[in-house]
Amino acid sequence: MEFVSYVGLGSNLGDRELNLLRAIAEIGKIPASRITALSGFYDTEPVGPVPQDPFLNAVLRLETSLTPHQLLAELQRIETEVFRRDRTIPQGPRTMDLDLLIYDDIVLESETLTIPHPRLHDRRFVLAPLAEISPDQTHPLFGKTTAELLRDLPPGGQVTKI
């Protein structure tokens, strides 16, 4: 059985566009999974307490028969093995950040994974590309579509499609 999941991609170190393209190619190799939609790329202001360069972000839809934890393990493997992600500075600069945003209509909270992503609903840099490819996707907890969540955000957070 295949499940529909959405993965957020972000990079603000090195060649950001090349990093996103490499990550998309690597995600495309995940067993028992296939990419079925990809947003455009968005230049975005960093969010959080750490001063850093702007990000390039995108969202893709992935149909998979992997469990949420198996999919997370694959995404983290790509971050670590392909992009040599260093997690020493929380919310710090990174060559690649892959977030499992939504997995079907599942609501899950474990020590290692929370679905839907706990900050999905208030992050313009995720909602803009997600709404581009799936404006009618309903948030499993809030019952609002991605288009509605994006529309309801307060002003701020520079997000520009390139």
CATH value at residue 13:
3.30.70.560
Q: What is the pLDDT of residue 157?
A: 83
Say how many C-beta atoms besides its own lie within 10 A of residue 125's C-beta.
Answer: 24
Quote the tokens at residue 128. 């803009």
**57 contacts 125 by C-beta, under 8 angstroms:** yes
Rounded Cα distance between 159 and 125, Å, is 6
Residue-wise pLDDT tens digits, 87-130: 777 778 999 999 999 999 999 999 999 999 999 999 999 999 99
Rounded Cα distance between 95 and 42, Å, is 15
SS3 159: strand
By C-alpha distance, which of 104, 83, 96, 87 is closest to 8? 96
pTM of the model: 0.95
Residue-wise pLDDT tens digits, 41-78: 999 999 888 889 999 999 999 999 999 999 999 999 99
Provide the sign of the torsion angle of the four alpha carbons 91, 97, 101, 106, taken in this order. Answer: negative
Bridge partners of residue 59, in order along the sequence: 8
Give the domain extent around 86.
Answer: 3-161
The residues assigned a catalytic role are 84, 94, 97, 99
The size of the chain, in residues, is: 162
Q: What is the pLDDT of residue 70?
A: 98
Report how many domains make up the chain.
1
Q: What is the pLDDT of residue 85?
A: 76
Rounded Cα distance between 133 and 36, Å, is 10
Please count the helices (runs of H) and the strands (runs of E) in the chain: 4, 8
